[in-house]
Structure 1
């Protein structure tokens, strides 16, 4: 694909959720406050939510979350370190595909590097047309919707607004399904196949889905696509939802409760993956790989293997490059 370019310069804003600057209670509190203040994430009336958030949740959760981050922190948070590697590899891949340099900047909806900072860097590089690529295969208003809000807010402060296109989702993209299935096959070649493959997706409140969020439908399509690509029978795989927060019902079945029951149903060995996560982070490396492993093993399980996110693997970068190239067509 050869782009016909004169003065126009293309760029990519690669966006993930976010991470604290440091694994300290103060930095985590700052990050959580920004995250949990987003109305798309928590839509409770502010008069009810602010006292709960500032008076109870932030003071109690920040130290606990900071401790969890400390167990996986290596010079930087995994999400930011992997994201920077993804951006670098994507830029190199795009240069090969389109025959020209396309700057790629990593940005986070919450925390740093921020979306406004990413857009500013692209504009400083002469970019006039930006492809926004949220690293969320399945669309949700709580993730991709929040990226759109943050981009719009950042653009509101810019005099010369660039043209913008955004990838909405890619939950059924053949390269995505093949990459996930390939990661499972590679894992099986090294460790053998377990009794069951569990595909754990980040949850959202059931109410959000009832109000029109298509996220659970997208998750189901992804899981079915991976299972079909692997040739799995219905009893060899299962979809669950993790990381629920608060008291209202979230999407079910819940991952932790499922892990408690599987050994009682004869499932002694388990492979688990998190298809909604484009990069390993606290929810995969600590919650899934450590906490939930203990849940399964304590319930009578004998072998538990976490299959890592696609991260900066070549098949993942190939997918991301194709998503960007598709947006550049006809521009």
Structure 2
């Protein structure tokens, strides 16, 4: 087998190039033009996107991004954290001849430019790791689509592998459980209820066969066992609903409001569908939904961090990646 280096590319969703209206508008146009994300006929969706969504939503989203923006690096937190994950994983793989990098599905750095960069470093084989634990066509499949488009323009193509969904992987569940236990122990209160909030999907996509909800439920079931928590203590919910159509439920906002109104005073929210904190975890949960719970009668609210570049998280990513690199490693640890 060739002794050429191996590429290992972490891929997450993406973030606008700036927290201003125009940058967010460009980002949303790219994101919401993906047929995997909005699978309506273009003749129907395009006028709605251009005349309504891209007129009003960027201003609101820009305000939200500014509240969590990494001013020092001038970038969104998702990009900062994904870079940190790649940088901290790199030395763990260097002895194996593996070059670690990161890309974003939307905005930059793009999957195509990072495949080109790894190829320029001599990588004839590349492992792509979509950082979505639960499979959805709008996330995991979109990464595969974009990688295929990048390869389509190349005469000499690298061999690609893709890390499969890891929603039930013991390494991931163990990391989630360890992180959750540590963060709960550090709180100055004991939550009456924990909510596991996953990003929502339009129910129509689930009805057409997307396994996403089943994957989320499997993650939660395994996490309940690992934490030894009953279903009534660790509850399932879905956030980030967009538009007026039916999405997967129950909605996190509704669950929190109903808990507060029924007398629950202390809650914590964790997000097992995200491996890195982003707008949806930091602002939607940490600001918007916190405010909703407290103004509805709640007294204590905690947002638990994602795994990010913690040792628990890095160990899980490394374990999963090493399994998928099996047979490719060219030196060092096997």
Q: Equivalent residue of 1:235, what SS? A: coil
Aligned to 1:109: 105
Aligned to 1:63: 59
Tell me, yes or no, if structure 1 residue 82 matches structure 2 residue 81.
yes
Aligned to 1:166: 162
- Which of 244, 253, 257 is the matching residue for 2:254? 257
Tell me, yes or no, if structure 1 residue 189 matches structure 2 residue 220.
no
Tell me, yes or no, if structure 1 residue 100 matches structure 2 residue 109.
no
Instruction: Answer yes or no: is the 8 Å Cα contact 1:9–1:127 preserved in 2.
Output: yes
- Which of 323, 326, 329 is the matching residue for 1:326? 323
Tell me, yes or no, if structure 1 residue 274 matches structure 2 residue 289.
no
Tell me, yes or no, if structure 1 residue 9 matches structure 2 residue 8.
no
CA distance in 2, matches of 1:266, 1:93: 48
Mean alpha-carbon deviation: is it higher for 184-193 or for 58-67? 184-193
Q: Equivalent residue of 1:71, what SS? A: helix
- Alpha-carbon shift at residue 264 of structure 1 (Å): 2.5
The superposition leaves residues 74-112 of structure 1 with CA deviations (integer Å, 9 ceiling, x where unpaired) of 2321011111100111112223xxx32311121111001
Q: Equivalent residue of 1:56, what SS? A: helix
Q: Equivalent residue of 2:301, what SS? A: strand
Please give the residue correspondences for 1:90-239 in structure 2 after superposition, counting only pairs within 5 Å: 90-95=89-94, 99-191=95-187, 192-239=189-236
CA distance in 1, matches of 2:48, 2:185: 48
- Alpha-carbon shift at residue 228 of structure 1 (Å): 1.1
CA distance in 2, matches of 1:218, 1:232: 19
CA distance in 2, matches of 1:23, 1:209: 32
The superposition leaves residues 281-322 of structure 1 with CA deviations (integer Å, 9 ceiling, x where unpaired) of 100100010000011111111100000110001111111112
Which aligned runs of 4 or more in structure 1 are off by greater than 6 angstroms? none
Instruction: Answer yes or no: is the 8 Å Cα contact 2:8–2:101 preserved in 1.
Output: yes
Consecutive unaligned residues of structure 1, counting only runs of 5 or more, are none
CA distance in 1, matches of 2:45, 2:36: 13
- Which of 310, 315, 319 is the matching residue for 2:312? 315
Instruction: Answer yes or no: is the 8 Å Cα contact 1:200–1:273 preserved in 2.
Output: yes
CA distance in 1, matches of 2:149, 2:272: 29
CA distance in 1, matches of 2:171, 2:80: 24
CA distance in 2, matches of 1:193, 1:159: 58
Instruction: Answer yes or no: is the 8 Å Cα contact 1:105–1:121 preserved in 2.
Output: no
Instruction: Answer yes or no: is the 8 Å Cα contact 1:91–1:101 preserved in 2.
Output: no
CA distance in 2, matches of 1:94, 1:226: 29
Structure 2 CA distance for partners of 1:311 and 1:139, relative to 1, 3 Å? same
Instruction: Answer yes or no: is the 8 Å Cα contact 1:93–1:318 preserved in 2.
Output: no
- Alpha-carbon shift at residue 326 of structure 1 (Å): 1.0
- Alpha-carbon shift at residue 330 of structure 1 (Å): 2.8
Instruction: Answer yes or no: is the 8 Å Cα contact 1:93–1:317 preserved in 2.
Output: no
- Which of 235, 238, 243 is the matching residue for 1:241? 238
Aligned to 2:39: 43
Q: Equivalent residue of 1:17, what SS? A: strand
User: Structure 1-normalised TM-score?
Assistant: 0.96
CA distance in 2, matches of 1:85, 1:26: 27
Aligned-pair RMSD on alpha carbons?
Answer: 1.1
The superposition leaves residues 111-169 of structure 1 with CA deviations (integer Å, 9 ceiling, x where unpaired) of 01111111011111110100010000001001001000000001101111100000120
Structure 2 CA distance for partners of 1:7 and 1:94, relative to 1, 3 Å? closer
- Alpha-carbon shift at residue 195 of structure 1 (Å): 0.2
